[in-house]
Chains A and B, each alone.
Chain A
Amino acid sequence: GENVEQHPSTLSVQEGDSAVIKCTYSDSASNYFPWYKQELGKGPQLIIDIRSNVGEKKDQRIAVTLNKTAKHFSLHITETQPEDSAVYFCAAAWVRDMRFGAGTRLTVKP
C-alpha cells in the first residue's frame, strides 16, 4: 500500500520567516495530495491540496509543489505568524482511502 514519509517531525521558526515541510510517497498511482492542519484538541482541517496534473498551487501565504517524477511534494508557508503553530500532515490519496504522513509540529516564535 501507499507509504507517506514526512520531514521534519518538528520545525521551529521565527515569526515572519518561511517554513517548508516535505513529503514523499511510494505509490506512483497516487494522484491527489492534500495538506491538513491540526490544532490542539481538534481534527485535521484541510488547508490546501494539489492534483497530479498541477506542479504548484498557491493560496495567499501557503503554497504546495508537486514533483511526480520524484514522488515528492512540499508545503511552503511564508510570513509565518504565531497562529500558524500547529501540527501539519501531508497525505496521498490511494484507491479508496487517504494515507497520512507522520506530521510536523510547527512552532512559530513571536
Chain B
Amino acid sequence: EPEVTQTPSHQVTQMGQEVILRCVPISNHLYFYWYRQILGQKVEFLVSFYNNEISEKSEIFDDQFSVERPDGSNFTLKIRSTKLEDSAMYFCASSEGWPDNNSPLHFGNGTRLTVT
C-alpha cells in the first residue's frame, strides 16, 4: 500500500537555527498538509497546500514557517530561527481531495524535532 514518507525521523537543532523537514506524499495525491503534535497533546493543523500554493493555514503557521514543493515528489516544511517551543512531532499528510469532500488524510510517521 502506498505511504507517506518523512525524513529525517529525528532532528536535533539549536535554538535560532533553521530546519527543513521533508516529506514524500503518496504519488497520485494532490493535496498536502503539515500537522504538529507536542508531546502528549493533540494533533494540530499547521497548513494545507494545493496547486503550488497555501490553501489554508492556522494561527500557529506564522512568518517563521514556510512550505514548498520543490519538485514533483517532495513537500517540505521550513522552520526559521527555531525556538524551544517548536519542539514537537511534525506530521506530513496527503489526500486525493479536500477533507470536506470526504477524502481521508494519509499520514507519515513523523519527524521528531528537538530544539535545544
Contacts and interface: CB of A to CB of B under 8 A. Distances in A.
B42 A45 contact: no
Contacts of B104: 34, 46, 49
A83 to B, nearest CB: 18
Contacts of A97: 33, 45, 48, 56, 58, 99
B105 interface: yes
A101 B45 CA distance: 11
Contacts of A93: 98-100, 102
B14 to A, nearest CB: 24
A31 B109 contact: no
Interface string B85-111: 000000101000011111111111110
Interface string A55-76: 0000000000000000000000
Interface residues of A, number: 26
Contacts of B28: none
Interface string B62-101: 0000000000000000000000000000010100001111
Contacts of B106: 46
B42 A96 contact: no
B107 A31 contact: no
Interface of A: 29-32, 34, 36, 41-46, 49, 51, 89, 93-103
Top 7 closest pairs, chain A to chain B, by CB:
A93-B99, A43-B107, A96-B56, A102-B42, A100-B43, A98-B99, A93-B100
